[in-house]
Amino acid sequence: MKKNKILLLAVLLFTGFTCFGQGENIFIDLEFDKDTWISNSENLVIAPNGAGLSGHSPKAMFTSIAIPVAFESAESFITVSFSSRGLGFDSNQIHFSIRSKDNEGWGDWQPIHQSHEVAPHESRFVSQLLFFDVTCGQIQFMVELSAGQKQTPFVKSMSLNIFTPGKEKGAPVKTKQSNNYKNDCYCPLPDFFNRDEWGCPDGEEPSCPSPSYTNVSHLIVHHSATSNTSTNWPGVVLSFWDYHVNTLGWCDIGYNWLVDPDGNLYEGRGGGNNVKGAHFSCANAYTMGVCVIGNFMEDEPTSEAKEGLIRLLSWKCCDKELIASALVYHSPTQLTLPTVCGHRDANESLAPNACPSGTACPGDLFYPLLDEIRAGVDSLMGLPFCGGFAPPANDNCDLAQDLVYSPDCEFVAADVSGATPSGLDAPDCSGYNGFPALEDVWFSFVADTTAMGIKVVPSEMFDPVLALYNNCEGDELACSDMGGGVGNMEYFDYNNFIVGETYFIRVYHYGQLSPLTTNFEICLSNPFLYPYANFEASSTQGQAPLSVDFTDLTENVPTSWNWIFEGGIPETSTDQNPVGIIYEEPGVYDVMM
């Protein structure tokens, strides 16, 4: 993400920098050791250490100058966040407010709260992430200071980050399978939007230079404490990444996963399964953090969001052999916590390395529902195949369905419904080979002859890819992906079978998404292609009597041969490669094969 710092001088300077599909930032540093950036004040003194109370005044306030907001590509919303340096932030002596101006004028002042994602500190305040309509053209801050017994408060600076996710890219495509999260769990990882699909500037690569990993024992539920409505949830996720990286100063988004109100799942921190995030009051070891997007202090999450959360947590409980409702000791917090717990459960931590925290996350109306979430996970995991479709019996190569050779192609019915990925890459012939092949089923047979054909006839909306292997490890012998699209058959002949050896056939639907129809027919038979006759002679001219040998060069594996030698001795042969055909008299002779 392209970014730049701007120092406000006597005239406010600003600019935006576009990163196509990855958002746009305005960074501004406001320094309060001079009054250049202050438009109005009461009982305020300006000193080298910043703006503070004048004399023995119990209260003071000041407002910033109006700050323009101008982006080249804003479409859905704008976010504002900042960190401030000074003294007195942790003792309730300093309060920040913000208002915005659109075409209809200035709005009301809104209070700004300390971020629930970082611990309060006397000399640093980090704001929550604030969302504004795309029509916002200016913002202004108000700072109120109060005297106290502990110290005299002052504000030295504000480092401001104004962000927009840019132009909406349209609906991204969900990822169905990723080697980053590959496992054999019977509760599958739900389809999700990966980092590249929600616009992460680093794409699928981790933003942290050296990601850390952990042995997950606890699954921590959060809320984002932001709006419950949006037309651009991928952009909201991108704004969280920007906030965590460019305002909080982290190397990557803190959450491992995020769930939007529609139940869609988003990959968070880069690095794959079991990467350690930043979300649990500095006690992140042995945890996976999931943020349900929205503010649940006064509203409950949607049923779709809860369902998406339950399916994600079921996958992880299955992956790590956890019980959602179990009480398990968490050493970084020195607390015994439910496997599935909330961010606020670390508030009472006695661990010396944990951050002080008083967060209400995941919200007053969501936290009591965690019992329901735990029960939902335990219930789902108790259902056959985690409440999904049972995979077919030939889902895995080691359970491949037997095929029997039939010269006339006797079809066998098959189906990929409920099949799971084997994890092998797509065959070499496939036009879509940048992703592990999905939802494949397997067949096996013992070769009865050296040449056979394999054919798949699909249902109307199934686009088959057909591959032949000599083992289950992916050693490919032949494949077919002729590119006709859904409903078109695939077939090939193979001429080098070893009689008595076992071979394996793999069939799956082309591309990344599931087929709309899943059934097909398959057969193992004689080769489908007609032989193309060809031969060569050891000699085509000479002195009579002349002996000539003939060599078969026919393509596509003939099974019988008929030769006619005009004027030769003998005049016919059924050998593949006749030898010693004698021509006793001079002349020109035809040979027919």
Show contacts of 389-394: CB within 8 Å, 24+ apart. Answer: 389/417, 389/418, 390/418, 391/418, 391/419, 391/420, 392/416, 392/417, 392/418, 392/419, 392/441, 394/441, 394/442, 394/443
Q: What is the pLDDT of residues 314-323, one digit of tens each?
A: 999 999 999 9
Bridge partners (DSSP) of residue 82 are 160
Output the CA–CA distances (angstroms, integers) from residue 218 to 36, 308, 329, 340, 360, in the order listed.
Answer: 50, 18, 9, 6, 19
pLDDT per residue as tens digits for the range 465-506: 999 999 998 889 999 888 778 888 888 889 999 999 999 999
Helices 370-382 and 303-320: crossing angle, nearest 10°? Answer: 60
pTM, whole model, 2 decimals? 0.69
Average pLDDT over residues 330-342: 94
Averaged over 179-186, what is the pLDDT?
Answer: 68
Query: Would you say residue 4 has pLDDT above 70?
Result: no
Residue with tokens 């001795």: 569
pLDDT in tens, 109-130: 999 999 988 877 889 999 999 9
pLDDT value of position 389: 66
Q: What is the pLDDT of residues 522-554, one digit of tens each?
A: 999 988 765 667 889 898 888 889 899 999 887
What is the per-residue pLDDT across 398-432, written as a single tens digit (0 to 9) for each? 999 999 999 888 999 999 987 877 878 888 787 66
pLDDT band at 82 (very low <50, low <70, confident <90, very high): very high
Q: Could you tell me how far CA 384 lies from the centroid of its own chain?
A: 26
Of 465, 339, 445, 328, the closest CA to residue 394 belongs to 445
| Burial category of 274 from C-beta neighbours within 10 Å (exposed 0-12, middle 13-18, buried 19 and up) | middle
Is residue 353's pLDDT more than 80? no
Which has the higher per-residue pLDDT, 75 or 444?
444
CB-based burial label for 318 (10 Å; 0-12, 13-18, 19+): buried
User: How far is the C-alpha of 85 from the C-alpha of 89, rounded, in Å?
Assistant: 9
Determine the length of the chain.
593
Q: 54 Cβ partners below 8 Å, 6+ apart?
A: 43, 44, 45, 60
